[in-house]
Amino acid sequence: MDTELAHAYDRCRELHRRHGRTYYLATRLLPAWKRRHVHALYGFTRYADEIVDRTDGLPTAERAGRLDDWGGRFLAGLHGQQVDDPLLPAVLHTIAVFDLDRNDFASFLKSMAMDLTVSSYPSYRHLLDYMEGSAAAIGTMMLPILGSADPAAAREPARQLGFAFQLTNFIRDVAEDLDRGRTYLPDEDLDRFGVTRHELAEARSRGQATPAIRALIAFEVARAQAHYAAAAPGITMLAPGSQACMRTAYALYGGILDEVAAQDYDVFARRAVVPRRRRLAVAARSLLAPVGTPVSLPGPPVPGDAAARLPLPGPTAS
């Protein structure tokens, strides 16, 4: 591996280590040769996310221009042009090694562009359209790296796991997203529980959720749990050397839902975080579990009407 490529992989790994603590820990359970490729995909998604979320003091047009410029360099690299970028060489190398579907990357960049102009979603169907790029595409990007004896059967569980992880982040980060002027809780869900955006903003200011907001969050936790349930069979479909990693990621992201429930679904009281001791214990158990061990569904029983699992959409949200 030449120096430029090695430095690009190192840059992606550092982004992953610094910003993706839960997934970074899980990735350490992969065979060494696979880790750098997972870091590369994380670096790609994180850098695009940084352009969108860490430049919010700039005009929308300028932020869109930066995303377009970076996406243009990426596309040029896919067509064999030399790319002057600190991390794209690692991403392009990973795509070439595993012949990853270029459409997944285009779908992801499309969803990142949506974050520049879309601040809310009328329905869960509309949110799923966004998550096709921001979440499901990442699941299918990862699948060739993780490996499976039956990739066709493992594809839909991989997509569902992307949805589950993304929804977990949305639930945990309601307050942070409000600060960025966005709401990933669908309007139809707010209406169902009699919650307005103004009330969400007031709860953010107080640092305390109302009973109606807590009921809304419990409903969203149940929805995330339904996606975890749909993703669960896919873990044992993975290559033996990848199962401990994804079993850990599954349990730790799901553990965030446990933490949300432990604070009575008040996502404004504090940011739900799985304690370090528990993260290490989960990783150790996953490493010791025999290959083929099924995962346990995350999250506690959810009170009220949210306890009923919501019907999941079909494989395609569009």
Does the pLDDT of residue 206 top 50, yes or no? Answer: yes
Residues 103 and 207 in one domain: no
**Residue 240: φ, ψ to 5°:** -50, -40
CA dist., res. 137 & res. 155, Å (int): 10
Residues 130 and 84 in one domain: no
Residues 244 and 267 in one domain: yes
Residues 35 and 101 in one domain: yes
Q: Nearest 5 degrees, angle CA 65-CA 68-CA 74?
A: 145
Residues 192 and 292 in one domain: yes
Does the pLDDT of residue 306 top 50, yes or no? Answer: no
CA dist., res. 13 & res. 73, Å (int): 21
- Please provide the DSSP assignment of 100-134 as one string: --HHHHHHHHHHHHHHHH----SSHHHHHHHHIII
CA dist., res. 28 & res. 244, Å (int): 10
Least confident of 113-122, 233-242, 308-317: 308-317
Residues 100 and 183 in one domain: no
79-115: per-residue pLDDT in tens?
A: 999 888 999 999 999 999 999 999 999 999 999 999 9
Boundary of a domain, candidates 74, 100, 117: 117
Boundary of a domain, candidates 117, 146, 170: 117
pLDDT of residue 311: 45
The pLDDT-based confidence of 304 (bands split at 50, 70, 90) is: very low
Distance of CA 220 to the CA centre of its chain: 15
The pLDDT-based confidence of 318 (bands split at 50, 70, 90) is: very low
> SS3 for 152-188, per residue?
HHHHHHHHHHHHHHHHHHHHHCHHHHHHCCCCCCCHH
Residues 103 and 162 in one domain: no
25-73: per-residue pLDDT in tens?
A: 899 999 999 999 999 999 999 999 888 887 667 888 999 999 999 999 9
Q: Which is more confidently placed, 104 or 300?
A: 104
Token pair, residue 174, equals 């309601």
**For the chain, what percent of residues have pLDDT higher than 70?**
93
Residues 133 and 229 in one domain: yes
Residues 53 and 173 in one domain: no
Q: How far is CA 229 from each of CA 124, 153, 155, rounded to the nearest angstrom?
A: 18, 15, 15
pLDDT of residue 299: 61
Contact 94, 100 (CB under 8 A): yes
**Residue 107 sits in a domain of what CATH number?**
1.10.600.10
pLDDT of residue 118: 95
Helices (DSSP H) in the chain: which residue ranges? 3-19, 21-27, 32-53, 60-78, 88-98, 102-117, 124-131, 137-146, 151-172, 174-179, 187-192, 197-206, 211-235, 240-262, 276-288
CA dist., res. 264 & res. 260, Å (int): 7
pLDDT of residue 20: 86
Does the pLDDT of residue 302 top 80, yes or no? Answer: no
Token pair, residue 20, equals 């993706």
In this prediction, residues 293-310 reach a mean pLDDT of: 61
Q: Which is more confidently placed, 214 or 284?
A: 214
Contact 9, 40 (CB under 8 A): yes
Does the pLDDT of residue 277 top 90, yes or no? Answer: no
Token pair, residue 304, equals 């009220």
Boundary of a domain, candidates 117, 148, 171: 117
Q: Residue-wise over 158-192: b if at least 16 C-beta within 10 A, else e? A: bbbbbbbbbbbbbbbbbbebbeeebbbbbbebbee
Integer-rounded Cα Rg, in Å, for the chain is 19
The total number of structural domains that make up the chain: 2
Contact 5, 89 (CB under 8 A): yes
| Range with the largest mean pLDDT of 24-28, 128-132, 285-289 | 128-132
Least confident of 58-62, 123-127, 190-194: 58-62
Residues 53 and 127 in one domain: no
Q: What does pLDDT average to over the chain?
A: 90
pLDDT of residue 271: 93
Q: How far is CA 112 from each of CA 83, 116, 118, 125, rounded to the nearest angstrom?
A: 21, 7, 10, 18
Least confident of 118-132, 200-214, 296-310: 296-310
Q: How far is CA 138 from each of CA 64, 90, 149, 162, 260, rounded to the nearest angstrom?
A: 21, 16, 19, 7, 25
Residues 107 and 157 in one domain: no
In this prediction, residues 239-255 reach a mean pLDDT of: 94
**Residue 49: φ, ψ to 5°:** -65, -40
Residues 199 and 270 in one domain: yes
Which range marks the domain in which residue 156 is found? Answer: 120-318
Q: Helix or strand or coil: residue 238?
A: strand
The pLDDT-based confidence of 276 (bands split at 50, 70, 90) is: confident
